[in-house]
Each structure stands twice: as C-alpha cells, then as structure tokens.
Amino acid sequence: MWQRWGVRLAVFLAASTVTSVFFIDFCAWIFRCGCQSLWLTADKYCNIHAAHAGHGAKGCPWCSFGYAGYLLVFGSMVAAQAVVAFLAPWNWPARLGAALAVFPLMGFVLAGITGVWTGYWR
C-alpha cells in the first residue's frame, strides 16, 4: 500500500517539477510578454513592469494580478496534476504522461480565460 503512494508521490513530484521549471517559459510563449527562462532573466523583461510604470502597455495576464493571481494559475495546474497523479487508476507511466500533459492543457485553458478576461489580445 505505501509503495503505491510512494510511486504516486514520485509521479506528482516529477510532473510538478516540470511545471515549476517551465511555467514562466509557457507564459512567455502564450503571451509574448518578454519573460525568459528562470536560468536567464526570468521576469526582468516582462511587459508587466512597463504596464506598472504607466507606459500604457498591457501587462501579462498572469503577472497582472500579482502573487495571488500567479499562485492561483500555478496552483490550479499543480492541483490538477495532483488529482491525476494520486487518483487516476492507471499504471505509473500512464499517470506520469497524463500528469505532464495537464500542464499545457490547463495552461491553454487558463491563458484563454485570463487573456480574454483582461483584454490582453485586444
């Protein structure tokens, strides 16, 4: 029994690590906001900084709500990965594949919702 939970935890940790490392890259790809990988300049060139400075630019939808909004988007992705990792009845390779797939799938959905809601693409 504990071994099964250990495998499920390992699947969750692997999937959530991928999400943690590449979350900012996904944001930059979807919104073209200027963010870069964590190992480069991260959010240094994100358009949210220009928006806050009053230059009339629209800020990245995921950054524009501050840490709370960022946490809500990231947390939703990781929570969905946890559901798949811990509750799916499949073997570990299938659960891992599904948990990894949740990241871009939830990302597209959340990007669409926040992008339209904030009028980012207008």
* Model pLDDT, residue 112: 93
Domain locations along the chain:
2-118
Q: b vs e for 83-100, b when ≥16 Cβ sit within 10 Å of the residue's Cβ?
A: ebbeeeeeebeebbebbb
Which residue reads 């524009």 in tokens?
A: 64
Tokens linked to 39? 């190992």
- Mean pLDDT of all residues in 66-88: 92
Asked if pLDDT for residue 53 goes beyond 60, the answer is no
Residue 55: is its pLDDT beyond 70? no
pLDDT of 50: 64
pLDDT at 120 > cutoff 80: yes
Say if residue 30's pLDDT is above 60: yes
For a pLDDT cut of 90, what percent of the chain falls above it?
49
